[in-house]
Structure 1
């Protein structure tokens, strides 16, 4: 019996992805564990492995296709002993209808994509119906998210477009060749904050399509600022002792090829501060609060086209040299798009350092569902009171952003105080 190979969910938040490259072709035999394709998610390019054994009988989604919804049939696998030439391409299975044994043919949409709006399905659960009711006819239109966006931009009524994808699904190529017409009256279903209409005012420009990563960043940070009541607390930290200790550590480790950065030491300081002030190592969860027993620090890393936050797990228990080695590896693989989901999803708090750009101070947006992020500014020579006398010292400003639903101002202030003490008396980071 033919086996349907479907677009996998490579992360808990993945709804669609780009089928970047096929590594197999029709007629190729595959075994469990063989890499079949490379799939681009909103954060990384990941390898997709075969689960079953057999022969590739059909490839339904060509490489380079964007906006492929999770659950979409992308290929068909013939089992051992089956004649590849006689195997029909697999189709997505329809979810069972609660009130009828068989759904009418004309109302049987492909069950290969995630629900686009909770109101589109009468009951919760893992339904994968992606069709939306047309406001004029009540019929369902099956289209990829990318095709829908293009149609909306061009004013194309999708009910007038014939789909060439699996199960008659409308894809990008179908709408690109369609003529603009009267768009279906679905304005009432638009999100609360709709994208602003482009107005170039005659200024020379080019249009750059948002990547999956950029769209995810925009969505998550908008949700963060809308839903999380931020409170910001700033301290000035004298860095001279930390810089001196860093120099001594690097001199001692030079033979091992290890070079610890200031950021590595600040990651350790934040983790230890969270361990000492556990009321800040929490997460708001509606009617409950998650209290974490270890500090996993998400570190903001700039990569081409966006930002990603690889995680140093249990950073408080690791040496600064361990943190340094892990960060170098994670950052390099992040820039190559090779991180695994567990390496950037999770974390109990974040740190974002813009000191290398000369930024004196900034307020970072909390990375949901976390409850705090530490924003690090540049260390610079400033007049500073040391032992009751005014001196010139190397000082940086650090600003903590806290979710006020989970962390009170006084508790956030205590964390900032402990973080400052650990940085100014850095032997505590290596003891």
Structure 2
């Protein structure tokens, strides 16, 4: 029996991805565990493995196809003994296939696939088949999906169909006949202004004065999540200066005493950021009420401190998570972050390596930024923005003195972390940074 290869969901929020390339071609024999294709998400490139033996009979979605919906059939495997050339493309996606190709790492549960062919509901009314994104856009714009002809697989309505319908001129509604009675109440103003269209924005600039660069999946996802975070999370900010001189001296000593291999290369090199990750993790454990995630029904109080670290990569950024950072040595955190950074730039991180987390660190100090406020990365309830360490004049024992200070700003979800609790967390962090030896015991 032929086995459908479905577009996998590689994260809980994934609705579509790009099929980067096929590693097998039609007619190739495959066995369980063989890598069939590479899928690009907004954050990483993942491999799709075969879960059964047979022959790759059909490739339905070619290399380089963008925005392939989750659970769309991308290929078909003919079973042993079946004539691969006789296998036809499926008429519709299976909603609950017995077998399908799977991503190399187990993904979060994906939403059920919508059958792409129309069917009748219990009342004999034709059901519409549309992608979740198309339904959401249509609902937001007040557009009736039944008036749209789908261009997706087997007539499925996809996002581009909805956008095309919105761009097309629509007849103005006829005015209702006047009738006696009280005047209608004016409608309430919209809660937020409608976004300005691309064409309107372009009118502000002279033709030929700019280059148009299409957004990739990563940039679209970053934009969507930042808007979501800023509109749905009530941010609250707290700032403090931390003295770094003791930490810098300890770092120099630790790095100088690092064991070396036969070529004289040190086994590790601790960075200031490694200390910051460790300090935030320990502070979260010292103030457990701040090591939380808000949900509408309950507060999730985490049993360990999983700290995300913002890493800049071409086209955007990603936040790999150092799990149980409070229990790890500085050298272990250093090695883990170097591995994360290298694989992040190659887009080889696994979804479970950048999802979740208790809080995050965003460090722009290496770019000379003195201080800034960061936007919380949902579903976390806080993020620490770290500025550059710089020499400043401070008062010690009633006299001016020079010290190396680092400004940090904690952004918190005010639903989960109140001002006093955020201040307690920041005080615990400052204490650890200024007395760094406590992080080694």
Which category of TM-score, normalised to the shorter sequence, fits these structures? 0.7 to 0.9
Corresponding position: 1:347 with 2:357: yes
Choose from 415, 418, 432 the match for 1:422. Answer: 432
Q: Identify the residue that residue 232 of structure 2 maps to in structure 1.
A: 227
Q: Identify the residue that residue 77 of structure 1 maps to in structure 2.
A: 77
1:133–1:141 Cα contact (<8 Å) kept: no
**Cα distance, 1:221 vs structure 2:** 1.0
SS at match of 2:258: helix
Distance (Å, rounded) in 2 between the aligned partners of 1:272 and 1:264: 12
Distance (Å, rounded) in 2 between the aligned partners of 1:421 and 1:54: 61
Q: Identify the residue that residue 102 of structure 2 maps to in structure 1.
A: none
Q: Which runs of 5+ in 2 are unaligned?
A: 96-113, 173-189, 261-265
Q: Identify the residue that residue 141 of structure 1 maps to in structure 2.
A: 149
Choose from 142, 148, 154 the match for 1:167. Answer: 154
2:129–2:157 Cα contact (<8 Å) kept: no
Corresponding position: 1:300 with 2:286: no
Q: Identify the residue that residue 370 of structure 2 maps to in structure 1.
A: 360
**Cα distance, 1:29 vs structure 2:** 1.2
Corresponding position: 1:269 with 2:269: no
1:298–1:310 Cα contact (<8 Å) kept: yes
Choose from 327, 332, 347 the match for 2:342. Answer: 332
Give the TM-score normalised by the residue count of structure 2.
0.82
Q: Identify the residue that residue 208 of structure 1 maps to in structure 2.
A: 213
Q: Which runs of 5+ in 1 are unaligned?
A: 122-131, 143-162
Give the TM-score normalised by the residue count of structure 1.
0.83
Corresponding position: 1:14 with 2:14: yes
1:93–1:110 Cα contact (<8 Å) kept: no
**Cα distance, 1:13 vs structure 2:** 1.1
Q: Residues 7-406 of structure 1 correspond to what in structure 2 (within 5 A)? A: 7-90=7-90, 91-93=92-94, 99-100=121-122, 107=126, 113-114=131-132, 116-117=134-135, 135=144, 138-142=146-150, 163=151, 166-168=153-155, 182-183=168-169, 194-198=194-198, 199-200=201-202, 201-203=204-206, 204-253=209-258, 255=260, 256-406=266-416
What is the count of residue pairs matched by the alignment? 392
Distance (Å, rounded) in 2 between the aligned partners of 1:245 and 1:264: 13
- Change in CA separation of 1:173 and 1:15 when aligned onto 2, cut-off 3 Å: closer
Tell me whether 25-34 or 199-208 shows the greater mean CA deviation.
199-208
1:57–1:89 Cα contact (<8 Å) kept: no
Distance (Å, rounded) in 2 between the aligned partners of 1:401 and 1:295: 17
Q: Identify the residue that residue 155 of structure 1 maps to in structure 2.
A: none
1:35–1:50 Cα contact (<8 Å) kept: yes
SS at match of 2:407: strand
1:133–1:140 Cα contact (<8 Å) kept: no
1:134-165 per-residue CA deviation (whole Å, 9 max, x = no partner) reads 649x34532xxxxxxxxxxxxxxxxxxxx4x5
1:303-322 per-residue CA deviation (whole Å, 9 max, x = no partner) reads 00011000100001111000
2:148–2:161 Cα contact (<8 Å) kept: no
- Change in CA separation of 1:41 and 1:350 when aligned onto 2, cut-off 3 Å: same
1:134–1:140 Cα contact (<8 Å) kept: no
1:41-86 per-residue CA deviation (whole Å, 9 max, x = no partner) reads 0111111111222111111111101010001110111111111111
1:109–1:140 Cα contact (<8 Å) kept: no
Distance (Å, rounded) in 2 between the aligned partners of 1:251 and 1:377: 25
1:195-251 per-residue CA deviation (whole Å, 9 max, x = no partner) reads 422333343001111111111111111111111111100001110000000000100
- Change in CA separation of 1:173 and 1:23 when aligned onto 2, cut-off 3 Å: farther
Indicate the RMSD between aligned Cα atoms, in angstroms.
Answer: 3.1
SS at match of 2:437: helix
1:22–1:37 Cα contact (<8 Å) kept: yes
**Cα distance, 1:173 vs structure 2:** 11
Distance (Å, rounded) in 2 between the aligned partners of 1:341 and 1:191: 34
Distance (Å, rounded) in 2 between the aligned partners of 1:254 and 1:381: 31
- Change in CA separation of 1:343 and 1:72 when aligned onto 2, cut-off 3 Å: same
SS at match of 2:277: helix
1:110–1:167 Cα contact (<8 Å) kept: no
